[in-house]
Chains A and B, each alone.
Chain A
Amino acid sequence: MYVLSRPALVLLLMMAIGLGFYPLVGDSYYIRLLTKIMVLGLFAMSLDLLIGFTGLISLGHAAFFGVASYAVAWYIVKAGVTSLLLILPTAIGASAACALVIGWLSIRTAGIYFIMITLAFAQMLHAFFKDQKYWGGTDGFNFYDKPQLVFGDTVLLDLSNRLTLYYFTFAILVSAFVFLIVLLRSPFGRAIQGVKVNEGRMRAMGYNIRHLKLISFIIAGSLAGVAGFLEATRTAYVNPELMSWHMSGNVMIMVILGGMGTLYGPLLGALALTLLGDNISSMWDHWLLIMGAFVIAVVMFLPEGIAGLIEKTANRFKRKPPPKEETEP
């Protein structure tokens, strides 16, 4: 059962306050970088719903991220539409529809098959967008306009403004987090966590496992779609690599590095991995060598991720005081 521990809550509040006020003092480079981190954090959080809470190891999560990005590009490049109210729902809808189809096929299998099949279907979409001239082929699309929320003649939200995009992303990230917390406390949320722990017993107790998994898969895919929408809006650029399996691999690394099954862990994972990449990629051409070694080190020495480390440390502090109190009086 998911419980947001007190140290995590404190950390999250600090992070939220920090993120909320950073633009007042920070420079534009880091505002952009933080927007990227929040987008990736949302993406990683959506995968955590599958890996950490439902027990579904999807290696094709980038498919939903990429499809939503292409939906944004399609509206702006092909249809000349920039209305946020059209683009965002379509992007999410496209991801959800893909998740429904891919999920329906993949969930018939389990274990290693599921890993390979989700990977293969994401590659299928990758190949599709790469093959089709209409969709920009290998180069994808560059575009200049960004989604806007317009009411009458007034522009309420213009996402081409760096700060607006930053706070819009921040608001979505916070809402998604709250949504997932609520979801995990609901009967549905409890049920998927039961599926992760003991699928057979859940079935014997009368649960339709496939339905539970599929719904979880669609919710996670839709959230990844929201992240994909933000990513395309942020960079004004889409290409097939957005749904490549390296993207899926990277987001999985974020989830594990941060700590799966904690929701806030993947945010930390996105933060750590992006900062790491940002720093070492400019220092050495072969920085992926360090990245590879780093991933292996995480698997070997930090399987519960940064969040696991935090909770362990917090627990140690919590246990230490009592003996002191006993000895002092």
Chain B
Amino acid sequence: MDISYYLIQALNGIQYGFLLFLVASGLTLIFGIMGIINLAHGSFFMIGAYLCWWLTSLTGNLFLGILAGIPLAVALGLLIERFGIVHLYTRDHLYQVLFTYGLILIFGEMRSILWGNEVQSVQIPEILSAAIPLTDVQSYPVYRLFISLVCMALAAMLYLVVQRTRLGMTIRAGASNREMVQALGLDIAKLFAIVFALGAALAAFAGMVAAPVQSVFPGMGDEILIVSLVVVVVGGVGSIKGAFLGAMLIGLADTFGAVFLPHGAGTVIYTVMAIVLLWRPQGLFGRT
């Protein structure tokens, strides 16, 4: 194993980190601003992947599939917020956990009814199917690079929106002090709907771009949910910056864990989490 092998692993880790960030940022914002623990967040990732597979096979083009999928994901997010999550704002976390757990079961079965339980795969479009040669035998697929770049652009956009716009200001105010948003006379119902739909869309989008590199399978939502929760715990609840660093840390830890500890790979990210907890129980960027 030479340096290019580790380079490939590092790039894979970063790419995974970016995907995690898209899912975890929504999760952390939905908690920070709305006070909701949304276990069904991983389902949006799974639904995104299946939407992508379905729409790509209908349209014959990945980009068209994604383009058509995004509004559907936003609509689904709005729908779930309006008819489900809205009942949870004043409820204890315990009931939020159960309610959103119920949603997972429903999403899972809806998927089963609509799209079946088979493992599916999505073709990488021709234009991105090349690989960049690194050595004689090793190369890096362009599509993975594409994922990283798109996610990076999205992360930058999210950062700009949160830091520079009026909506972002409201979001930040809401994340640090929910009462303040109300006190400022801002429309909290609208803000919550936007945040939830945005989070759902980000997670679904992550599922869509990930579909061609990982197989599309029923349990993918659970998998990403748990890892995203670890990211949120590591980064600190409510912090976008924390979600980003946490996602990169966990993405890299998971990838290199599989390289160095092939038989204990599954436990590496949790060990990272335990270490962070010992050091900073509120997460890297969490408030005390």
Q: How far is the CA of A163 from the CA of B276 in the complex (A)?
A: 49
**Contact among B101, B103, B232 with A253 in the assembled complex (CB-CB below 8 Å):** B101
Kindly specify which of A33-41, A64-72, A295-303 makes contact with the partner chain.
A295-303
20 A-B pairs (CB sep. < 8 Å): A57-B93, A105-B277, A109-B277, A113-B281, A113-B282, A117-B233, A119-B226, A120-B273, A123-B270, A124-B266, A131-B263, A131-B265, A132-B263, A289-B110, A289-B113, A291-B102, A295-B105, A299-B91, A299-B95, A299-B102
Q: For chain B residues 266-283, which have a beta carbon within 8 Å of chain A? A: 266-267, 270-271, 273-274, 277-278, 281-283
Which chain A residues lie closer than 8 Å to B102 at the CB level?
291-296, 299
Known contacts A112-B37, A292-B105; A117/B99 CB under 8 A: no
Q: Are B106 and A292 in contact (CB under 8 A)?
A: yes
Q: How far is the CA of A127 from the CA of B226 in the complex (A)?
A: 12
A288, CB-defined interface residue at 8 Å: yes
Main secondary structure of the interface of A (DSSP, over half): helix
A245, CB-defined interface residue at 8 Å: yes
Which residues does B use to contact A, with CB under 8 Å? 31, 37, 84, 87, 91, 93-95, 97-99, 101-106, 108-110, 112-113, 222, 226, 229-230, 232-233, 237, 263-267, 270-271, 273-274, 277-278, 281-283
> Which residue of chain A has its CB nearest to the CB of B263?
A131
Excluding A120-B273, A292-B104, 14 further A-B contacts by CB distance (< 8 Å) are A112-B31, A130-B266, A131-B264, A245-B222, A245-B226, A286-B109, A286-B112, A288-B105, A293-B106, A295-B99, A295-B102, A296-B84, A299-B91, A299-B102
Which chain A residues lie closer than 8 Å to B226 at the CB level?
119-120, 123, 245
Known contacts A112-B37, A127-B270; A288/B99 CB under 8 A: no
Q: For chain A residues 104-161, which have a beta carbon within 8 Å of chain B? A: 105, 108-109, 111-113, 115-117, 119-121, 123-124, 127-128, 130-133
Total A residues in contact with B, Cβ cutoff 8 Å: 43
Which chain A residues lie closer than 8 Å to B94 at the CB level?
51, 57, 252, 256, 260
Known contacts A123-B226, A245-B226; A300/B87 CB under 8 A: yes
A89, CB-defined interface residue at 8 Å: no
Q: How far is the CA of A144 from the CA of B176 in the complex (A)?
A: 57
Number of A-B contacts (CB under 8 A): 121
Which chain A residues lie closer than 8 Å to B233 at the CB level?
113, 116-117, 120
Q: Are A124 and B270 in contact (CB under 8 A)?
A: yes
Known contacts A121-B270, A245-B226, A300-B87; A115/B93 CB under 8 A: yes
> Which residue of chain A has its CB nearest to the CB of B31?
A112
Which chain B residues lie closer than 8 Å to A298 at the CB level?
98
Q: Are B106 and A289 in contact (CB under 8 A)?
A: yes
Query: What is the minimal beta-carbon distance from B30 to any residue of chain A, in angstroms?
Result: 11
A59, CB-defined interface residue at 8 Å: yes
A249, CB-defined interface residue at 8 Å: yes
Q: How far is the CA of A102 from the CA of B208 in the complex (A)?
A: 35
Q: Are B37 and A115 in contact (CB under 8 A)?
A: yes
Q: How far is the CA of A131 from the CA of B269 in the complex (A)?
A: 14
Known contacts A108-B277, A109-B282; A289/B109 CB under 8 A: yes
Q: How far is the CA of A249 from the CA of B281 in the complex (A)?
A: 24
> Which residue of chain B has its CB nearest to the CB of A119?
B229
Q: For chain A residues 70-124, which have a beta carbon within 8 Å of chain B? A: 105, 108-109, 111-113, 115-117, 119-121, 123-124
Which chain B residues lie closer than 8 Å to A130 at the CB level?
266
Q: Are B112 and A291 in contact (CB under 8 A)?
A: no
> Which residue of chain B has its CB nearest to the CB of A134?
B263
Q: Are A303 and B265 in contact (CB under 8 A)?
A: no
Q: Are A292 and B273 in contact (CB under 8 A)?
A: no
> Which residue of chain B has its CB nearest to the CB of A133?
B263
Q: For chain A residues 244-262, which have a beta carbon within 8 Å of chain B? A: 245, 249, 252-253, 256, 260
Query: What is the minimal beta-carbon distance from A80 to any residue of chain B, in angstroms?
Result: 25
**Contact among A109, A124, A295 with B98 in the assembled complex (CB-CB below 8 Å):** A295
Known contacts A105-B278, A115-B37, A120-B226; A252/B108 CB under 8 A: no
Which chain A residues lie closer than 8 Å to B91 at the CB level?
299
Give the one of A288, A294, A296 with max B CB within 10 A: A296
Query: What is the minimal beta-carbon distance from A97 to any residue of chain B, in angstroms?
Result: 16
Query: What is the minimal beta-carbon distance from A112 to any residue of chain B, in angstroms?
Result: 5
Which chain B residues lie closer than 8 Å to A296 at the CB level?
84, 99, 102-103, 106
Q: How far is the CA of A231 from the CA of B264 in the complex (A)?
A: 27
Query: What is the minimal beta-carbon distance from B72 to any residue of chain A, in angstroms?
Result: 20
Q: How far is the CA of A229 from the CA of B101 in the complex (A)?
A: 27
Query: What is the minimal beta-carbon distance from A285 to any residue of chain B, in angstroms?
Result: 8
